[in-house]
Amino acid sequence: MTQNYRKLSAGEIAQLQAQGCTAQQWDQIEVAPTFEARYIQDVQFYGTVQLGTNQGEIEVTEGFSKHCAIRHAVLKDVSIGDNCLIENIRNYINNYQIGDGCYISNVCSIETTPGAAFGEGTVISVLNEVGPGNVMIFDGLNSQLAALMVKYQEDPLFTSAIRRIVREDIEQKRRNATRGTIGNNARIVNTGTITNCHISSDCNIQGAARMHECTLRSIPEASVTVGTGVILENSVIYDGSVISNNAKLENCFVGEACKITDGFTAENSLFFANCYMSNGEACAAFCGPFSASHHKSSLLIGGMYSFYNAGSGTNFSNHAYKMGPMHWGVLERGTKTASGAYILMPARIGTFSVCFGKLLHHPDTRKLPFSYLIAYGDDMYLIPGRNLTTVGLYRDIRKWPSRDKRPHGGKNSIVNFDWLSPFSVGGIMVAKRTLESLREVSGDVATYNFHDYVIKNSSLKKGIKYYDIALRIYMGAVMKRHRLERPQSQVGTGKWSDLSGLLIPLSEEERIVDAIRRGQLDNVHDIRAEFVRAQQNYAEYRWAWSYRLIREYYGIEGDITPADANRIQQDYITARRAWIAEIRKDAEKEYELGDIEPDVLHEFIERLDNEVQFETLKYDM
Residues 600, 601, 602, 606: is their CA dihedral positive or negative?
positive
Across the chain, mean pLDDT equals 93
E-strand ranges in 527-573 read none
Q: So what's the pLDDT on residue 265? A: 98
Query: Cα separation of 451 and 449, whole Å?
Result: 6
Contacts of residues 255-264 at CB distance under 8 Å and 24 or more positions apart, as own/partner, are 255/141, 255/142, 255/143, 255/412, 255/413, 256/222, 256/406, 256/410, 256/411, 256/412, 256/413, 257/222, 257/404, 257/405, 257/406, 257/410, 261/227, 263/296, 264/293
Whether the predicted pLDDT of 620 surpasses 70: no
Radius of gyration of the chain, Cα coordinates, nearest whole angstrom: 29
Phi (first) and psi of residue 476, to 5 degrees: -65, -40
Whether the predicted pLDDT of 247 surpasses 70: yes
What integer is the mean pLDDT of 553-572?
94
pLDDT digits (tens, 9 = 90+) for 184-232: 999 999 999 999 999 999 999 999 999 999 999 999 999 999 999 999 9
- Which positions ≥6 away from 593 have C-beta within 8 Å? none
What integer is the mean pLDDT of 258-269?
98
| Structural contact between residues 212 and 225, judged by C-beta atoms closer than 8 angstroms | no
Q: DSSP state, 407?
A: -
Query: Cα separation of 136 and 113, whole Å?
Result: 22
What integer is the mean pLDDT of 555-575?
94
Q: So what's the pLDDT on residue 614? A: 52
Residue 506's region, left for phi above 0, alpha for psi from -120 to 50, else beta, is: alpha
Band (pLDDT 50/70/90 cuts) for residue 588 is: confident
pTM, 2 dp: 0.94
Band (pLDDT 50/70/90 cuts) for residue 326 is: confident
What integer is the mean pLDDT of 26-38?
95
Band (pLDDT 50/70/90 cuts) for residue 591 is: confident
Whether the predicted pLDDT of 595 surpasses 90: no
pLDDT digits (tens, 9 = 90+) for 489-538: 899 999 999 999 999 999 999 999 999 999 999 999 999 999 999 999 99
Query: Cα separation of 114 and 529, whole Å?
Result: 34
Band (pLDDT 50/70/90 cuts) for residue 68 is: very high
Q: Which tops the pLDDT comparison, 319 or 372?
A: 372
Phi (first) and psi of residue 152, to 5 degrees: -110, 30
Band (pLDDT 50/70/90 cuts) for residue 371 is: very high
Residue 487, preceding peptide bond in cis (omega within 30° of 0): no
What integer is the mean pLDDT of 392-412?
92
Q: So what's the pLDDT on residue 175? A: 66
What integer is the mean pLDDT of 250-257?
98
* Count of C-beta atoms within a 10 Å radius of residue 457: 14
Q: So what's the pLDDT on residue 582? A: 93
**How far out from the chain centre does Cα 42 lie?**
45
Q: Which tops the pLDDT comparison, 43 or 603?
A: 43
Band (pLDDT 50/70/90 cuts) for residue 618 is: very low
In this structure, are strands 372-376 and 379-383 parallel, antiparallel, or unpaired? antiparallel
- Pick the closest to residue 332 from 296, 369, 357, 362 (CA basis): 369
369-378, 473-482, 588-597, 608-617: segment of lowest average pLDDT: 608-617
Q: DSSP state, 308?
A: -
> Read out DSSP for 431-463?
HHHHHHHHHHHH-S-SEEEETTEEEEHHHHHHH
Whether the predicted pLDDT of 619 surpasses 60: no
Q: So what's the pLDDT on residue 483? A: 82
Work out the widest C-alpha separation in the chain, in whole angstroms.
Answer: 101
Query: Cα separation of 87 and 73, whole Å?
Result: 6
Q: So what's the pLDDT on residue 617? A: 41
pLDDT digits (tens, 9 = 90+) for 50-62: 999 998 899 999 9
What integer is the mean pLDDT of 75-83?
97
Query: Cα separation of 370 and 354, whole Å?
Result: 8
Give me the percent of the chain exceeding a pLDDT of 90. 85
| Structural contact between residues 265 and 245, judged by C-beta atoms closer than 8 angstroms | no
